[in-house]
């Protein structure tokens, strides 16, 4: 079955700097890759997603890149703000079937 | 427009007991999935239902079961509770129409088994 790895497990950046979180997946049949943000005690919220027919997608300060050949995808957050502090999860799935989530990255944006 | 609603929000049960968790999807969403999130880990897939049929099952014991009703709401049942079942149980709904695969999660039910 699918296996998703995520690095780093924790990440601290200064406010205004960029943050990059990387994930790898094992199943070449996976074709949908969402990213979720989970603040303490709250639900995971979808922040951006990408499908396998696209190499990059951007939404304001957030971007995701996908390398199908290498089976890895990354989340890029530019101009980080304190409210970006949260745990971020990547996931992989095949046409929206059961998502396999990575273990999460705890991002801390320091003022 | 209401999001995904789950009940109860918190629950404390004793080992060996049974629990039923409930989920109402976003209006118009026909797919409901259940995930278990242990503290400090990513959500783990338990079940997916679409149009009242089970479409996927994760690596969980038979003590876990679920069903989806004609109004697309869903129940997750766990029998013979173990301490290790303590977790946040998340329900997610999606429309699964066209190319829209994204889940919307509910706020979860935090289950504590003592």
At residue A84, φ and ψ (nearest 5 deg) are -80, -10
Residue B45 CA to residue B39 CA, distance in Å, equals 15
Residue A109 has a pLDDT of 98
Q: Which residues of B3-33 are buried (b: 16+ CB within 10 A; e: fewer)?
A: ebebeeeeeebeeeeebebbbbbbeebbbbb
Q: Which residue in chain B is spatially nearest to A38 when comparing CA positions?
A: B42
Q: How many CA atoms lie within 13 A of B51 on its CB side?
A: 2
Assign B15 to helix, strand or coil.
coil
What residues of chain B, 37 to 76, have a C-beta less than 8 Å from chain A? Answer: 40-45, 48, 55-56, 58
Are the C-beta atoms of residues A14 and A76 closer than 8 Å to each other? no
| Cβ contact B56–A97 (<8 Å) | yes
Are the C-beta atoms of residues B62 and B48 closer than 8 Å to each other? no
User: What is the per-residue pLDDT across B17-58, written as a single tens digit (0 to 9) for each?
Assistant: 999 999 999 998 999 999 999 998 999 999 999 888 998 899
Closest CA to A75 of A34, A16, A15: A34
| Cβ contact A99–B43 (<8 Å) | yes
Assign B27 to helix, strand or coil.
coil
Q: What is the mean pLDDT of residues A78-95?
A: 95
DSSP of B37-97, one letter per residue? E-TTS--EEEEEEETTEEEEE-S--TTEEEEE-TTS-EEEEE-S--GGG-EEEEEEEE---
Tokens standing for residue B66 = 């679920």
Q: Identify the sign of the CA torsion B21, B24, B30, B35.
A: negative
Angle at B62 between CA A36 and CA B94, to 5 degrees: 30
User: What is the per-residue pLDDT across A6-24, written as a single tens digit (0 to 9) for each?
Assistant: 999 999 999 999 999 999 9
Q: In chain A, what residues touch B101 (CB-CB under 8 Å)? A: 32, 34, 49, 93, 95-96
Instruction: Establish if A48 touches chain B: CB-CB under 8 angstroms.
Output: no
Q: What band does B98 get if pLDDT is binned at 50, 70 and 90?
A: very low
User: What is the per-residue pLDDT across A54-80, written as a single tens digit (0 to 9) for each?
Assistant: 899 999 999 999 999 999 999 999 999
Q: Does A36 have pLDDT greater than 80?
A: yes
């Amino acid at each position: 079955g699918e296996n998703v790895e995520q690095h780093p497990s924790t990440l601290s950046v200064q406010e205004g700097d960029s943050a990059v979180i990387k994930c790898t997946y094992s199943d070449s049949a996976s074709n949908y890759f969402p990213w979720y943000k989970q603040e303490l005690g709250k639900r995971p919220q979808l922040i951006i997603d990408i499908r396998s027919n696209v190499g990059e997608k951007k939404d304001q300060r957030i971007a995701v890149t996908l390398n199908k050949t290498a089976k890895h995808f990354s989340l890029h957050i530019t101009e980080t703000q304190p409210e970006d502090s949260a745990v971020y999860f990547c996931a992989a799935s095949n046409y929206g079937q059961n998502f396999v989530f990575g273990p999460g990255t705890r991002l801390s944006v320091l003022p | 427009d209401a999001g995904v609603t789950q009940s109860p929000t918190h629950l404390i049960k004793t080992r060996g007991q049974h629990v039923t968790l409930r989920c109402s999807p976003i209006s118009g969403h026909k797919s409901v999935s259940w995930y278990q999130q242990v503290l400090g880990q990513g959500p783990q897939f338990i079940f997916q239902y679409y149009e009242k049929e089970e479409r996927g099952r994760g690596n969980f014991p038979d003590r876990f079961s679920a069903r989806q009703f004609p109004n697309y709401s869903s129940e997750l049942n766990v029998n013979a509770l173990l301490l290790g079942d303590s977790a946040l149980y998340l329900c997610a709904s999606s429309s699964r129409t066209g190319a829209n695969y994204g889940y919307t999660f509910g706020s979860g039910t935090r289950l504590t088994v003592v």
